[in-house]
Amino acid sequence: MNILNKFNKSVNSVLSRVITIGFVVMTLLIFFQVIFRYALNESLSWSEELARYFFIWVTFLGASVAFFEKTHINVDLFVNYVKNIRVRETLFLIGDLLSICFLGMLVVKGFSVASRVLDLGQVSASMDFLPIGLIYLAVPLGCLFMCLNILMHTSVHVKQIIHPEEEE
- As a whole number of angstroms, the distance between CA 84 and CA 93 comes to 14
Q: How far apart are the first and last CA of the chain?
A: 27
C-beta separation of 11 from 145 below 8 A: yes
Task: Give the model's pLDDT for residue 15.
Answer: 94
Q: Which of 132, 128, 152, 114 is nearest to 52 (CA)?
A: 132
Q: What is the pLDDT of residue 18?
A: 95
- 149 — phi, psi (to 5°)? -70, -40
Q: What is the pLDDT of residue 49?
A: 87
Domain count, the chain: 1
In a structure prediction context, what are the per-residue pLDDT tens digits for the chain, which is 168 residues long?
688 889 989 999 999 999 999 999 999 999 989 888 888 888 887 888 899 999 999 999 999 999 888 877 766 777 778 888 888 888 889 989 999 999 999 999 999 999 999 998 888 877 888 899 999 999 999 999 999 999 988 988 888 888 877 544
pLDDT, residue 168, reads 42
Residue 167 lies in a domain: no
Residue 116 lies in a domain: yes
In angstroms, rounded to a whole number, what is the distance separating the alpha carbons of residues 18 and 14? Answer: 6
Evaluate whether residue 156 is within a structural domain: yes
Would 168 be classed as within a structural domain?
Answer: no
Q: Is residue 120 part of a domain?
A: yes
**CA neighbor of 166 nearest in space, from 92, 86, 55, 75:** 86
| SS3 (DSSP) at 71 | coil
148: containing domain:
2-162
73: in domain: yes
Query: What pLDDT does 128 receive?
Result: 82
Closest CA to 151 of 68, 47, 44: 68
User: Is 69 among the domain residues?
Assistant: yes
